Structure formats: structure tokens, C-alpha cells
Chains A and B, each alone.
Chain A
């Protein structure tokens, strides 16, 4: 089922209870939820958590450069002697800002367009499916690179670049789900009962798409972190000295294999964040029993 159809008759449990059972039995989903919460927590309280908050800026301490991990610097230091752990902590903050910015625009925009295209049909539907088909054909990374390079490399522009290539995917999914909901008997019944277009979109179709949207949004968060890291790895990230996980990996690459910790810290951080959102998204997907 592509949307929240009434679940198979369980042993007298409501769909909510069954969904909660599925989620609570899913160990990787719980781990994912913990990882996501921890990333959000670290990002929110970065200045309090980072051992050297000022190392997130343009601090230079050549005496401590390329220090391997030790008790003072648990993840070692970089080429100018800054604490990698502190920079990773602030890197999370930047990654989550990017996620929030992209999703805040792409999710409502994609959902609204997907819903409208599925319900109104006609030229809007044709236009939207046609446009998303075109977007499918372009490697998203190439498109984002091209857009990002036209603009100045900074956080807002990275957001714009990622949003521009990403919202169509979201719209495509919501469109697909809304289309199948719109074909249901209860929608026609609501029409016959005199419901207006707005009522049908907002009250009848949208509630049946919410679970798909939330699963997709969680998985998208992982994607945006990964994508943002790749962009900054390729040199289209935030300008130094702001700590950015992708560009930290790119900077440290030249010191491989001797100063391996300089790649390890930010690399693991990216992996940790994307893994968390992915596990949580998978868990939610199983919980709502939807296809994304």
C-alpha cells in the first residue's frame, strides 16, 4: 500500500498501536532516533560542548599542528593546530542549518505542488510530471554544482542549489501518493457529499500523505547532509574558517596517509549524522508501512 490504508486486522489493536509496536520492536530505528537526537543536541549546544569553542574560527597555533589524537585533542588537530573535535561539533551545526533550510522550503513546496498536480490534473499535472522527468535526467550533483558555481559559494547559496535540484523529487513522491489516494472511493464520496477542492486537498488527501511525507523528510535530511558535504568537498562549501565537515575532509586529504585522523574525525561525523537519519527514516517507513 502506498498510503495509510487501514492495516490488516491485527489482534484488536488500533493502527497507531500496531505502528508503535513495529517501531518499538525495531532496534535499528531506536538507535537511529538516538543518533538523530544526539546530533541535534550537539548542534544546539555546540558552544557548550566543544572543548575549544574559539577553534571554530580562524585560530592558528602552529606549535600544535598535526597533533595525533590525545586527551586534550580527542580527534587530533588540523594543519593549523585547531582542535578537530571542536570543529566537528560546530560542523554539525552548519550541516543541520543546511538541512533545516533546504527542507523548510523543499518539503512544503514539493508537497503542495505534488498535491495540486495530483488533484487538479490537466496542464498543471502534465507540466509537473514533465518537469520532474527532466530533472530526473540530470545528475543532481552536477546540477547543484553548476548552480552553486554560478552563485557565490556560501551556506545560503548551497541551500538554494540543493533545494532547486531536490524539491522535484519530493513533489514526485507526494504526487504519486496523492494520485493513488485521489482515486479512492472516499474521495469521490466526499465530492458527492459536496466537499470543495480545498477541503478535499487539505482534509481528505493530505492526512493520508502525512506519513509518507514524514518518512521522506527524514530520509531527505540524511541526503541533504551527504549532498552538502559532497558539495563542500568539491570546493563549493562555506568559506573558511567556518568549520564545514566536507571541506575539512577535502583539506585533510593532502596529508594522507600520515595524518589520517584529520580525515577520520569529520568523515565519521558525516557518516554518523547520515546514518542516524537513515536508520530513523527506515524505522518510520516500517512503522507506517509505506513505500518511499
Chain B
């Protein structure tokens, strides 16, 4: 069947497809909020009691319960929670007494920076590595890359983080192994909160260099699992595609191997790793909890870990929802990119 499509219809259909997916993801967030709400309500122990400590009187606890809405029916509580959540209110932390969303907002850039650098690292390292290993199959470079990828997949990130720290401390004695920046530098308070970006905006290369040195090891520790997995997937996608007829077509007409590999196969083989990267994004956030702890990064994930360990219910709920939001955003982005790469998906929307 021939399919002549004008550009406008195609773009509109694609946008509508993305919007449809967005609606689906909003549904995911709603169910997620319900699940975390139910979980929060089965926590043994009274949140108000945890917040006030063992010495508070029953009257004080009851007052707090009333102000938190804990004395109302569960359905009402959930409705209220959703309503407030939609307006960006997730209540106060039971430990610090500050607004949860305020605390998260102040810590989020640190994690965002770490995650962005890690994801960039995964793409920049793993995809070319996968391509090269598929092309030179069973050579020494393939062996090394497969070793790297299996270590990435099998080694727990806390172990990798500790090993990196140890190695840095022993070999590069002045390499920073904790924190985001040398506190003596007084980093500029920029618009994004991302030190690497803000320092460039403020034209302070020494801050940028220092922040870059700080972020290298944690980002690597965080990226390692992804590098392992994405290398593996890129490699198998490339090998799978190499067997296809379209490669034979080009070979039959003498198109050089490098041209077949780079534009032709890479574009086709990047779809699988991108999709997996999107789906595994939640695991990446999970690993950030560990990596931030080991490197004392002081971001959103450390905050989440603290909140969970101290049973700070309001904070835990907000942390899980923000992680979910992270995941949803990334996956809509991935869907859009994959749609840009693959004309079959675009045509499918028109059909």
C-alpha cells in the first residue's frame, strides 16, 4: 500500500500520540500516589507521635493529628492529599517541620545534575562501545567491552562507589571524594541550581573545574550499571541488524562497511537502547540513593533515604511521587525521540 502523507497531518498525529501517552502517564502517577498513600497508612506507629517524640502529651498528638487531617476518613484524607498535591503542597516534614516540597526543590538540582551527567555518560560511552564491539566481534576490544559491561551489570553500585573512592583516595590523593564542591569556593547562586551550568553562566571557570572534578566519580558510579546494560543492548541490536537483508543490499553494491555501520545501522540500532534507557530510568534514580549516600552528595536522593529511614511519611510520599514524575518526563522525551528516529512509528499514527 502506498502512503502519501502531508507533513502537517503527520506532525499533528504524532503530537496527539504523545499527548495520549501523556494522559496514560498521568494515570500512572495517580495510581502511584494511591499506592504510596495506602502504604503510608499501614505504617505501624502514629505519624504524629513520631513527629512529636515520646515525651509529647496525648493532647498535643491529637492536635497534630487533627491538623494533619489524620482523624478524618481515609477516602477524604486521600482526596485532600491529591488536591493538595496538585497544588504542590505535600505537607510538612515530620522531622524538620519544614515544607517538604520546599526542601525537595532546594535539593533537586544536585541530583538532577548528577543524573544528567550520568545519562550523558551512558550515551556517550555505551552506544559507541556497543557499535564497536558488534563490528569487531570476538576481538580483544569486544572482550574488554564485554568485561566492562558485565562488571557494570553485576557489581552493586555501592561497591563500585566505594572502590572508586578508595582508588581516588590512594592513587589521586587530592581528588575530591565527597560533596559537590569545595566549600571555600563560594559557588554562585545561579538560576538553574546546576553548578556546572551556573558557574559557566557566572563566568567562573575555577568553580566549573572544581564541580566537574567532584561530579566525575559519583556520576561514573551511577552510570556504571547503565553503561553495562546499554552497551550490551546496543551490541545485540547491531548484531541483529547486521544479519538483515538491507545490509546485504548495501554490501552488494559496494557501499563501504563504515558507511553501513555508522549512519545506517546506528540509526536503526539506537531505538532499542533508547527505549531501555527510558524504562531503566527508575533503577537509575534508585541507584542515586546509594551513590549520593556514599559520596555525601546531599541531593534529593539522600533526602529520600533519610526520610524513609526515619519514617517521615510526608517526605517519603513526596519523594516517591517526584521520582515517578522524573520517570514519566524522561519516558515522554524518549518516546518523542524514538518517534523522530523511526518513520514507521510516525506512519503508524497516520494509518
Contacts and interface: CB of A to CB of B under 8 A. Distances in A.
Touching in the complex, A and B, CB below 8 A? Answer: yes
Interface of A: 28, 130-131, 133-134, 136-143, 145-147, 149-150, 222, 226, 229-230, 233-235, 246, 249, 253, 256-257, 260, 263, 267, 270-271, 274-275, 278-279, 282
A263 B164 CA distance: 13
Q: State the majority secondary structure of interface residues on A.
A: helix
B287 interface: yes
B265 to A, nearest CB: 18
A130 B31 contact: yes
State which size class the interface on B falls in.
35 or more
Contacts of A260: 166
- Residue in A138, A230, A263, A274 whose Cβ sees the most chain B Cβ within 10 Å: A138
B41 to A, nearest CB: 10
B189 interface: no
Contacts of A145: 289, 305, 308
Given A230-B158, A270-B156, A270-B159, A150 B42 contact: yes
22 contacts: A130-B31, A133-B28, A137-B32, A138-B320, A139-B284, A139-B289, A141-B289, A142-B286, A142-B304, A149-B308, A150-B39, A226-B156, A229-B158, A230-B158, A234-B289, A249-B162, A256-B162, A257-B170, A263-B166, A271-B154, A274-B156, A275-B150
Interface stretch (B101-109, B215-223, B321-329, B337-345): B321-329
Contact of B283 (A134, A140, A270, A278): A140
Q: State the majority secondary structure of interface residues on B.
A: helix
B35 interface: yes
A267 B160 CA distance: 9
B32 A138 contact: yes
Contacts of B157: 230
B290 interface: yes
A113 to B, nearest CB: 17
A141 B290 contact: yes
B31 A134 contact: yes
B39 A137 contact: no
Contacts of A143: 320
